[in-house]
Chains A and B, each alone.
Chain A
Amino acid sequence: MKAVPGERSFYVALAVIGGAYALLVVLMILANVAYTTPGQLTAALGSPEIQASMRLTLWSCLVAAALSLIVAVPLGYLLARTNFRGKALLEALMDIPVVLPPLVVGLSLLIIFNHFRIGGTSLEQWLNARGLRVTFAVAGVVLAQFSVAAAFAVRTMRGTFEQIPSRVDDVALTLGCTRWQAFRLVTLPLARRGMLAAFTVAWARSLGEFGPLLIFAGTTRGRTEVLSSSVFLELSVGRLEGAVAVSLLMIFIAIIVLMLVRSSGGIRS
Protein backbone atom coordinates (compact mmCIF):
# COMPACT_ATOMS: atom_id res chain seq x y z
CA MET A 1 0.00 0.00 0.00
CA LYS A 2 1.36 3.40 -0.98
CA ALA A 3 0.68 5.98 1.74
CA VAL A 4 -0.41 9.51 0.95
CA PRO A 5 2.40 11.95 1.90
CA GLY A 6 2.16 12.79 5.56
CA GLU A 7 0.33 9.58 6.47
CA ARG A 8 3.39 7.37 6.63
CA SER A 9 3.90 7.84 10.37
CA PHE A 10 0.29 6.79 11.00
CA TYR A 11 0.71 3.47 9.20
CA VAL A 12 4.15 2.88 10.70
CA ALA A 13 2.68 3.32 14.20
CA LEU A 14 -0.11 0.82 13.43
CA ALA A 15 2.39 -1.66 11.99
CA VAL A 16 4.69 -1.40 15.01
CA ILE A 17 1.91 -1.86 17.57
CA GLY A 18 0.19 -4.67 15.62
CA GLY A 19 3.52 -6.21 14.64
CA ALA A 20 4.46 -6.65 18.30
CA TYR A 21 1.64 -9.17 18.71
CA ALA A 22 2.45 -10.93 15.44
CA LEU A 23 6.04 -11.20 16.67
CA LEU A 24 4.87 -12.80 19.92
CA VAL A 25 2.97 -15.47 17.95
CA VAL A 26 6.04 -16.16 15.80
CA LEU A 27 8.24 -16.37 18.92
CA MET A 28 5.84 -18.87 20.55
CA ILE A 29 6.08 -21.16 17.52
CA LEU A 30 9.86 -20.70 17.26
CA ALA A 31 10.24 -21.45 20.98
CA ASN A 32 8.66 -24.86 20.46
CA VAL A 33 10.72 -25.54 17.34
CA ALA A 34 13.95 -24.50 19.06
CA TYR A 35 13.31 -26.61 22.14
CA THR A 36 13.02 -29.92 20.34
CA THR A 37 15.07 -31.97 17.90
CA PRO A 38 13.85 -34.06 14.94
CA GLY A 39 14.79 -37.18 16.93
CA GLN A 40 12.70 -36.18 19.94
CA LEU A 41 9.85 -35.25 17.66
CA THR A 42 9.95 -38.60 15.85
CA ALA A 43 10.16 -40.50 19.14
CA ALA A 44 7.21 -38.66 20.61
CA LEU A 45 5.09 -39.01 17.51
CA GLY A 46 6.01 -42.70 17.23
CA SER A 47 4.78 -43.54 20.71
CA PRO A 48 1.55 -45.57 20.71
CA GLU A 49 0.04 -43.31 23.40
CA ILE A 50 0.55 -40.13 21.38
CA GLN A 51 -0.72 -41.82 18.23
CA ALA A 52 -3.87 -42.95 20.05
CA SER A 53 -4.23 -39.43 21.43
CA MET A 54 -3.89 -37.98 17.93
CA ARG A 55 -6.57 -40.31 16.56
CA LEU A 56 -9.00 -39.50 19.39
CA THR A 57 -8.28 -35.78 18.98
CA LEU A 58 -8.99 -35.80 15.26
CA TRP A 59 -12.28 -37.62 15.43
CA SER A 60 -13.55 -36.11 18.69
CA CYS A 61 -12.92 -32.60 17.32
CA LEU A 62 -14.66 -33.61 14.10
CA VAL A 63 -17.75 -34.89 15.94
CA ALA A 64 -17.80 -31.90 18.33
CA ALA A 65 -17.52 -29.46 15.39
CA ALA A 66 -20.26 -31.27 13.45
CA LEU A 67 -22.58 -31.20 16.49
CA SER A 68 -21.73 -27.53 17.01
CA LEU A 69 -22.72 -26.72 13.44
CA ILE A 70 -25.98 -28.66 13.80
CA VAL A 71 -27.08 -26.44 16.71
CA ALA A 72 -25.41 -23.27 15.42
CA VAL A 73 -27.37 -23.10 12.17
CA PRO A 74 -30.87 -22.93 13.72
CA LEU A 75 -29.75 -20.81 16.69
CA GLY A 76 -27.79 -18.42 14.47
CA TYR A 77 -30.78 -18.06 12.12
CA LEU A 78 -33.23 -17.41 14.96
CA LEU A 79 -30.96 -14.84 16.61
CA ALA A 80 -30.21 -13.09 13.31
CA ARG A 81 -33.64 -13.07 11.70
CA THR A 82 -36.31 -13.13 14.37
CA ASN A 83 -37.42 -11.20 17.41
CA PHE A 84 -39.07 -13.14 20.17
CA ARG A 85 -39.73 -12.96 23.87
CA GLY A 86 -36.62 -14.13 25.71
CA LYS A 87 -34.20 -13.35 22.88
CA ALA A 88 -31.99 -11.25 25.18
CA LEU A 89 -31.86 -14.16 27.62
CA LEU A 90 -30.91 -16.59 24.85
CA GLU A 91 -28.17 -14.20 23.68
CA ALA A 92 -26.81 -14.03 27.23
CA LEU A 93 -26.94 -17.83 27.52
CA MET A 94 -24.93 -18.16 24.30
CA ASP A 95 -22.24 -15.91 25.78
CA ILE A 96 -21.88 -17.91 28.98
CA PRO A 97 -19.75 -20.78 27.59
CA VAL A 98 -17.49 -18.18 25.96
CA VAL A 99 -16.83 -16.20 29.14
CA LEU A 100 -17.07 -18.99 31.70
CA PRO A 101 -13.73 -20.30 33.05
CA PRO A 102 -13.13 -23.66 31.30
CA LEU A 103 -12.81 -25.53 34.59
CA VAL A 104 -16.27 -24.31 35.59
CA VAL A 105 -17.71 -25.75 32.35
CA GLY A 106 -16.21 -29.13 33.25
CA LEU A 107 -17.44 -28.93 36.83
CA SER A 108 -20.94 -27.99 35.66
CA LEU A 109 -21.06 -30.96 33.28
CA LEU A 110 -19.85 -33.25 36.06
CA ILE A 111 -22.67 -32.06 38.32
CA ILE A 112 -25.31 -32.39 35.56
CA PHE A 113 -24.37 -36.01 34.90
CA ASN A 114 -23.67 -37.14 38.43
CA HIS A 115 -26.07 -35.20 40.66
CA PHE A 116 -29.18 -34.58 38.54
CA ARG A 117 -31.55 -37.41 39.36
CA ILE A 118 -33.73 -39.35 36.94
CA GLY A 119 -36.05 -41.76 38.70
CA GLY A 120 -33.79 -41.98 41.75
CA THR A 121 -30.51 -42.40 39.84
CA SER A 122 -28.05 -39.92 38.41
CA LEU A 123 -28.10 -39.15 34.69
CA GLU A 124 -24.75 -40.94 34.38
CA GLN A 125 -26.07 -44.08 36.09
CA TRP A 126 -29.23 -43.91 33.98
CA LEU A 127 -27.10 -43.79 30.82
CA ASN A 128 -24.73 -46.47 32.13
CA ALA A 129 -27.69 -48.81 32.56
CA ARG A 130 -28.37 -48.30 28.83
CA GLY A 131 -24.80 -49.02 27.84
CA LEU A 132 -23.51 -45.45 27.45
CA ARG A 133 -20.74 -43.95 29.55
CA VAL A 134 -20.15 -40.22 29.43
CA THR A 135 -18.25 -39.05 32.52
CA PHE A 136 -14.55 -39.97 32.26
CA ALA A 137 -15.25 -41.60 28.89
CA VAL A 138 -14.82 -40.70 25.22
CA ALA A 139 -18.40 -39.36 24.96
CA GLY A 140 -17.44 -36.96 27.76
CA VAL A 141 -14.49 -35.74 25.72
CA VAL A 142 -16.79 -34.88 22.81
CA LEU A 143 -19.43 -33.31 25.07
CA ALA A 144 -16.87 -31.16 26.89
CA GLN A 145 -15.44 -29.95 23.56
CA PHE A 146 -18.93 -29.37 22.12
CA SER A 147 -20.15 -27.42 25.18
CA VAL A 148 -17.71 -24.59 24.53
CA ALA A 149 -17.17 -24.90 20.77
CA ALA A 150 -20.89 -24.64 19.93
CA ALA A 151 -21.12 -21.15 21.45
CA PHE A 152 -18.39 -19.95 19.07
CA ALA A 153 -20.12 -21.62 16.12
CA VAL A 154 -23.42 -19.92 17.05
CA ARG A 155 -21.71 -16.51 17.02
CA THR A 156 -20.24 -17.20 13.59
CA MET A 157 -23.54 -18.43 12.14
CA ARG A 158 -25.45 -15.48 13.57
CA GLY A 159 -23.01 -13.10 11.88
CA THR A 160 -23.36 -15.08 8.65
CA PHE A 161 -27.17 -14.91 8.59
CA GLU A 162 -27.11 -11.22 9.51
CA GLN A 163 -25.07 -10.57 6.37
CA ILE A 164 -27.54 -12.36 4.08
CA PRO A 165 -30.42 -9.98 3.29
CA SER A 166 -33.76 -11.39 4.41
CA ARG A 167 -35.13 -10.00 1.14
CA VAL A 168 -33.75 -13.03 -0.74
CA ASP A 169 -35.93 -15.31 1.41
CA ASP A 170 -38.91 -13.04 0.74
CA VAL A 171 -38.42 -13.24 -3.02
CA ALA A 172 -38.03 -17.02 -2.81
CA LEU A 173 -41.40 -17.18 -1.01
CA THR A 174 -43.11 -15.21 -3.78
CA LEU A 175 -41.50 -17.46 -6.39
CA GLY A 176 -43.21 -20.48 -4.90
CA CYS A 177 -41.12 -21.64 -1.92
CA THR A 178 -42.37 -22.63 1.49
CA ARG A 179 -40.31 -21.23 4.36
CA TRP A 180 -38.45 -24.57 4.56
CA GLN A 181 -37.70 -24.51 0.84
CA ALA A 182 -36.50 -20.90 0.97
CA PHE A 183 -34.17 -21.88 3.80
CA ARG A 184 -32.86 -25.00 2.03
CA LEU A 185 -32.62 -23.63 -1.51
CA VAL A 186 -31.54 -20.05 -0.87
CA THR A 187 -30.44 -19.20 2.68
CA LEU A 188 -28.35 -22.28 3.43
CA PRO A 189 -26.43 -22.26 0.12
CA LEU A 190 -25.71 -18.55 0.62
CA ALA A 191 -24.47 -19.37 4.15
CA ARG A 192 -22.12 -22.16 3.08
CA ARG A 193 -18.92 -20.15 3.60
CA GLY A 194 -20.13 -19.12 7.03
CA MET A 195 -20.96 -22.74 7.83
CA LEU A 196 -17.44 -23.80 6.89
CA ALA A 197 -16.06 -20.97 9.02
CA ALA A 198 -18.30 -21.96 11.97
CA PHE A 199 -17.22 -25.60 11.62
CA THR A 200 -13.55 -24.58 11.58
CA VAL A 201 -13.88 -22.27 14.55
CA ALA A 202 -15.63 -25.04 16.49
CA TRP A 203 -13.01 -27.58 15.39
CA ALA A 204 -10.09 -25.33 16.38
CA ARG A 205 -11.74 -24.50 19.69
CA SER A 206 -12.24 -28.22 20.37
CA LEU A 207 -8.61 -28.93 19.51
CA GLY A 208 -7.41 -26.48 22.16
CA GLU A 209 -9.93 -27.45 24.84
CA PHE A 210 -8.42 -28.76 28.05
CA GLY A 211 -10.08 -27.40 31.22
CA PRO A 212 -13.51 -29.04 30.85
CA LEU A 213 -11.85 -32.27 29.67
CA LEU A 214 -9.64 -32.45 32.72
CA ILE A 215 -12.61 -32.20 35.08
CA PHE A 216 -15.34 -34.03 33.16
CA ALA A 217 -13.58 -36.59 30.94
CA GLY A 218 -10.31 -36.96 32.79
CA THR A 219 -6.90 -37.41 31.20
CA THR A 220 -6.61 -41.18 31.36
CA ARG A 221 -3.68 -42.27 29.18
CA GLY A 222 -4.88 -44.14 26.12
CA ARG A 223 -8.58 -43.72 27.01
CA THR A 224 -9.66 -40.11 27.25
CA GLU A 225 -6.36 -38.61 26.24
CA VAL A 226 -6.43 -36.00 23.49
CA LEU A 227 -3.46 -33.91 22.35
CA SER A 228 -4.11 -31.08 24.81
CA SER A 229 -4.17 -33.59 27.65
CA SER A 230 -1.06 -35.29 26.21
CA VAL A 231 0.84 -32.02 26.71
CA PHE A 232 -0.39 -31.96 30.31
CA LEU A 233 0.46 -35.64 30.91
CA GLU A 234 3.94 -35.32 29.41
CA LEU A 235 4.60 -32.24 31.55
CA SER A 236 3.28 -33.91 34.69
CA VAL A 237 5.89 -36.69 34.40
CA GLY A 238 8.65 -34.20 33.64
CA ARG A 239 9.01 -34.98 29.92
CA LEU A 240 9.24 -31.43 28.64
CA GLU A 241 10.56 -32.54 25.24
CA GLY A 242 7.51 -34.82 24.79
CA ALA A 243 5.16 -31.96 25.71
CA VAL A 244 6.92 -29.67 23.23
CA ALA A 245 6.72 -32.31 20.47
CA VAL A 246 2.96 -32.71 20.99
CA SER A 247 2.57 -28.92 21.08
CA LEU A 248 4.34 -28.66 17.75
CA LEU A 249 2.09 -31.37 16.35
CA MET A 250 -0.98 -29.37 17.48
CA ILE A 251 0.40 -26.21 15.89
CA PHE A 252 1.07 -28.14 12.68
CA ILE A 253 -2.45 -29.67 12.58
CA ALA A 254 -4.07 -26.30 13.31
CA ILE A 255 -2.10 -24.55 10.56
CA ILE A 256 -2.91 -27.29 8.01
CA VAL A 257 -6.64 -27.14 8.79
CA LEU A 258 -6.74 -23.33 8.69
CA MET A 259 -4.87 -23.32 5.37
CA LEU A 260 -7.24 -25.90 3.90
CA VAL A 261 -10.26 -23.88 4.96
CA ARG A 262 -8.79 -20.58 3.75
CA SER A 263 -7.90 -22.07 0.38
CA SER A 264 -11.47 -23.35 0.00
CA GLY A 265 -12.77 -19.85 0.74
CA GLY A 266 -14.33 -20.76 4.09
CA ILE A 267 -12.73 -17.90 5.97
CA ARG A 268 -12.13 -14.72 4.01
CA SER A 269 -8.68 -13.35 4.50
Chain B
Amino acid sequence: MIEVSGLHIRAGVFRLDDISFRVNSGAYAVLMGKSGGGKTTILEAICGLRAFESGSIRLDEREISALPPAARMVGYVPQDLALFSHLTVRENLGFALNVRRIPENGRIDELAGWLGIAPLLDRYPAGLSGGEAQRVALGRALAFQPSVLLLDEPLSALDEATRIEMHGVLHAVRERTRVTTLHVTHHREDAKALADVVMELRDGKIVPVS
Protein backbone atom coordinates (compact mmCIF):
# COMPACT_ATOMS: atom_id res chain seq x y z
CA MET B 1 0.00 0.00 0.00
CA ILE B 2 1.20 3.50 -0.87
CA GLU B 3 -0.33 6.37 1.07
CA VAL B 4 0.81 9.91 0.37
CA SER B 5 -0.74 12.63 2.54
CA GLY B 6 -0.42 16.37 2.30
CA LEU B 7 2.90 16.31 0.50
CA HIS B 8 4.51 19.70 -0.12
CA ILE B 9 7.60 19.71 -2.35
CA ARG B 10 9.56 22.74 -3.43
CA ALA B 11 12.50 22.70 -5.85
CA GLY B 12 13.59 26.18 -6.93
CA VAL B 13 10.57 27.83 -8.52
CA PHE B 14 8.80 24.49 -9.02
CA ARG B 15 6.39 23.45 -6.28
CA LEU B 16 3.78 20.83 -5.55
CA ASP B 17 1.35 21.49 -2.72
CA ASP B 18 -0.88 19.20 -0.72
CA ILE B 19 -0.46 16.06 -2.82
CA SER B 20 -2.49 13.17 -1.41
CA PHE B 21 -3.42 9.78 -2.85
CA ARG B 22 -3.57 6.13 -1.92
CA VAL B 23 -2.79 2.94 -3.83
CA ASN B 24 -4.08 -0.23 -2.18
CA SER B 25 -1.87 -3.27 -1.59
CA GLY B 26 -1.33 -5.29 -4.74
CA ALA B 27 -3.01 -2.68 -6.95
CA TYR B 28 -1.55 -1.34 -10.20
CA ALA B 29 -2.02 2.42 -10.28
CA VAL B 30 -1.22 4.63 -13.23
CA LEU B 31 -0.48 8.29 -12.64
CA MET B 32 -0.96 10.43 -15.70
CA GLY B 33 -0.33 14.09 -16.38
CA LYS B 34 1.45 16.54 -18.59
CA SER B 35 5.24 16.42 -18.96
CA GLY B 36 6.96 18.66 -16.45
CA GLY B 37 3.94 18.56 -14.13
CA GLY B 38 5.79 16.87 -11.27
CA LYS B 39 4.99 13.16 -11.70
CA THR B 40 8.66 12.18 -11.53
CA THR B 41 9.12 14.45 -8.52
CA ILE B 42 6.42 12.52 -6.65
CA LEU B 43 8.11 9.19 -7.46
CA GLU B 44 11.46 10.56 -6.32
CA ALA B 45 9.91 11.71 -3.04
CA ILE B 46 8.53 8.19 -2.46
CA CYS B 47 11.95 6.66 -3.27
CA GLY B 48 13.71 9.01 -0.87
CA LEU B 49 15.65 10.78 -3.61
CA ARG B 50 13.86 14.09 -3.20
CA ALA B 51 13.42 15.95 0.08
CA PHE B 52 10.00 17.43 0.80
CA GLU B 53 8.88 20.23 3.09
CA SER B 54 5.97 18.55 4.83
CA GLY B 55 3.51 15.69 4.57
CA SER B 56 3.84 11.97 5.05
CA ILE B 57 4.47 8.89 2.97
CA ARG B 58 3.43 5.47 4.27
CA LEU B 59 4.28 2.21 2.58
CA ASP B 60 2.44 -0.85 3.95
CA GLU B 61 1.48 1.07 7.11
CA ARG B 62 5.12 2.09 7.64
CA GLU B 63 5.95 5.82 7.81
CA ILE B 64 9.04 6.06 5.61
CA SER B 65 9.54 9.81 5.27
CA ALA B 66 12.63 9.82 7.47
CA LEU B 67 14.17 6.63 6.09
CA PRO B 68 17.08 6.59 3.61
CA PRO B 69 16.25 5.19 0.13
CA ALA B 70 17.85 1.82 0.92
CA ALA B 71 15.53 1.20 3.88
CA ARG B 72 12.29 2.00 2.04
CA MET B 73 12.14 -1.30 0.12
CA VAL B 74 11.03 0.42 -3.06
CA GLY B 75 11.88 -0.94 -6.51
CA TYR B 76 12.48 1.97 -8.86
CA VAL B 77 12.78 1.99 -12.65
CA PRO B 78 13.66 5.50 -13.87
CA GLN B 79 12.78 6.76 -17.33
CA ASP B 80 16.35 6.42 -18.62
CA LEU B 81 16.66 3.00 -16.88
CA ALA B 82 20.16 3.87 -15.58
CA LEU B 83 21.45 0.32 -16.03
CA PHE B 84 24.95 -0.18 -14.64
CA SER B 85 26.95 -0.33 -17.85
CA HIS B 86 30.06 -1.77 -16.18
CA LEU B 87 28.13 -4.84 -14.97
CA THR B 88 26.71 -7.75 -16.92
CA VAL B 89 22.96 -8.36 -17.01
CA ARG B 90 23.43 -11.06 -14.35
CA GLU B 91 25.36 -8.63 -12.13
CA ASN B 92 22.73 -5.93 -12.67
CA LEU B 93 19.98 -8.34 -11.62
CA GLY B 94 21.96 -9.50 -8.59
CA PHE B 95 23.11 -6.03 -7.51
CA ALA B 96 20.50 -5.47 -4.79
CA LEU B 97 20.90 -9.03 -3.48
CA ASN B 98 24.66 -8.50 -3.11
CA VAL B 99 24.35 -5.13 -1.45
CA ARG B 100 21.61 -6.29 0.90
CA ARG B 101 23.42 -9.59 1.54
CA ILE B 102 20.38 -11.61 0.52
CA PRO B 103 21.27 -15.18 -0.56
CA GLU B 104 20.84 -15.52 -4.31
CA ASN B 105 19.32 -19.05 -4.23
CA GLY B 106 18.56 -19.16 -7.96
CA ARG B 107 16.65 -15.86 -7.84
CA ILE B 108 18.54 -14.36 -10.81
CA ASP B 109 17.87 -17.33 -13.10
CA GLU B 110 14.24 -17.40 -12.01
CA LEU B 111 13.79 -13.67 -12.73
CA ALA B 112 15.65 -13.90 -16.02
CA GLY B 113 13.47 -16.87 -16.98
CA TRP B 114 10.12 -15.21 -16.58
CA LEU B 115 11.31 -11.86 -17.90
CA GLY B 116 12.63 -13.64 -21.01
CA ILE B 117 16.21 -12.42 -20.63
CA ALA B 118 17.95 -15.69 -19.70
CA PRO B 119 20.04 -15.73 -22.92
CA LEU B 120 21.29 -12.20 -22.13
CA LEU B 121 22.71 -12.85 -18.66
CA ASP B 122 26.37 -12.66 -19.67
CA ARG B 123 25.98 -9.61 -21.90
CA TYR B 124 26.59 -5.99 -21.00
CA PRO B 125 23.79 -3.39 -21.19
CA ALA B 126 25.41 -1.55 -24.12
CA GLY B 127 24.34 -4.22 -26.60
CA LEU B 128 20.71 -4.58 -25.49
CA SER B 129 17.63 -3.47 -27.42
CA GLY B 130 15.15 -1.06 -25.80
CA GLY B 131 12.77 -3.84 -24.75
CA GLU B 132 15.59 -6.02 -23.40
CA ALA B 133 17.01 -3.13 -21.38
CA GLN B 134 13.53 -2.45 -19.94
CA ARG B 135 13.24 -6.05 -18.79
CA VAL B 136 16.68 -5.93 -17.17
CA ALA B 137 15.82 -2.69 -15.34
CA LEU B 138 12.56 -4.25 -14.20
CA GLY B 139 14.31 -7.41 -13.02
CA ARG B 140 16.97 -5.39 -11.18
CA ALA B 141 14.25 -3.45 -9.33
CA LEU B 142 12.29 -6.61 -8.44
CA ALA B 143 15.19 -8.87 -7.41
CA PHE B 144 15.09 -7.99 -3.72
CA GLN B 145 11.29 -8.40 -3.62
CA PRO B 146 10.36 -4.82 -2.77
CA SER B 147 6.93 -4.10 -1.35
CA VAL B 148 6.36 -1.30 -3.85
CA LEU B 149 7.38 -0.85 -7.50
CA LEU B 150 7.69 2.63 -9.00
CA LEU B 151 7.89 2.92 -12.78
CA ASP B 152 8.71 6.27 -14.38
CA GLU B 153 7.56 6.38 -18.02
CA PRO B 154 9.00 2.88 -18.53
CA LEU B 155 7.58 2.42 -22.03
CA SER B 156 7.97 5.91 -23.45
CA ALA B 157 11.01 5.19 -25.61
CA LEU B 158 9.71 1.93 -27.10
CA ASP B 159 8.20 1.25 -30.51
CA GLU B 160 4.56 0.16 -30.67
CA ALA B 161 5.24 -3.59 -30.99
CA THR B 162 7.71 -3.62 -28.07
CA ARG B 163 5.33 -1.50 -26.05
CA ILE B 164 2.54 -4.07 -26.41
CA GLU B 165 5.04 -6.83 -25.60
CA MET B 166 6.04 -4.95 -22.44
CA HIS B 167 2.38 -4.67 -21.41
CA GLY B 168 2.44 -8.47 -21.32
CA VAL B 169 5.62 -8.46 -19.23
CA LEU B 170 4.14 -5.97 -16.75
CA HIS B 171 0.98 -8.09 -16.50
CA ALA B 172 3.18 -11.10 -15.76
CA VAL B 173 5.10 -9.15 -13.09
CA ARG B 174 1.83 -8.24 -11.46
CA GLU B 175 0.47 -11.78 -11.53
CA ARG B 176 3.63 -13.27 -10.09
CA THR B 177 4.62 -10.72 -7.50
CA ARG B 178 1.41 -8.90 -6.54
CA VAL B 179 3.70 -5.96 -5.86
CA THR B 180 1.92 -2.62 -5.34
CA THR B 181 2.80 -0.61 -8.43
CA LEU B 182 2.73 3.10 -9.24
CA HIS B 183 3.34 3.64 -12.94
CA VAL B 184 3.84 7.16 -14.26
CA THR B 185 3.02 7.76 -17.92
CA HIS B 186 1.39 10.21 -20.28
CA HIS B 187 0.09 7.42 -22.59
CA ARG B 188 -3.60 6.55 -22.14
CA GLU B 189 -2.99 3.16 -23.82
CA ASP B 190 -0.68 2.14 -20.96
CA ALA B 191 -3.35 3.07 -18.44
CA LYS B 192 -6.04 1.17 -20.37
CA ALA B 193 -3.87 -1.91 -20.71
CA LEU B 194 -2.48 -2.10 -17.21
CA ALA B 195 -4.22 -0.05 -14.55
CA ASP B 196 -6.65 -0.95 -11.78
CA VAL B 197 -6.63 2.67 -10.74
CA VAL B 198 -5.94 5.71 -12.89
CA MET B 199 -5.07 9.09 -11.41
CA GLU B 200 -4.09 12.33 -13.03
CA LEU B 201 -1.86 15.11 -11.82
CA ARG B 202 -3.81 18.13 -13.00
CA ASP B 203 -2.97 21.70 -11.98
CA GLY B 204 -0.89 20.44 -9.08
CA LYS B 205 -3.60 18.16 -7.67
CA ILE B 206 -4.12 14.41 -7.93
CA VAL B 207 -7.58 13.61 -9.28
CA PRO B 208 -9.07 10.17 -9.95
CA VAL B 209 -9.83 9.29 -13.58
CA SER B 210 -12.74 6.99 -14.29
Interface residues of A (CB under 8 A from B): 165, 167-168, 170-178, 181, 185-186, 189-190, 192
Contacts and interface: CB of A to CB of B under 8 A. Distances in A.
Nearest to A192: B86
B130 to A, nearest CB: 17
Chain B contact patch, size range: 20 to 34
Nearest to A165: B82
Interface stretch (B2-10, B73-81, B174-182): B73-81
B97 to A, nearest CB: 9
Nearest to B143: A175
Most buried by B among A175, A178, A189: A175
A172 B75 CA distance: 11
Give me the 4 closest cross-chain CB pairs, A-B, nearest first.
Answer: A175-B96, A173-B69, A176-B99, A167-B82
Given A173-B69, A174-B49, A186-B84, 20 more contacts: A168-B84, A170-B44, A170-B69, A170-B76, A172-B84, A172-B95, A172-B99, A173-B48, A173-B68, A174-B47, A174-B70, A174-B75, A174-B76, A175-B100, A176-B144, A177-B99, A178-B68, A181-B99, A185-B95, A190-B84
Nearest to A167: B82
B72 interface: yes
Contacts, number: 64
B72 to A, nearest CB: 7
Contacts of B156: none
Nearest to A179: B68
B85 interface: yes
A154 to B, nearest CB: 23
Given A167-B78, A167-B80, A174 B86 contact: no
B80 A175 contact: no
B140 interface: yes
A53 B111 CA distance: 60
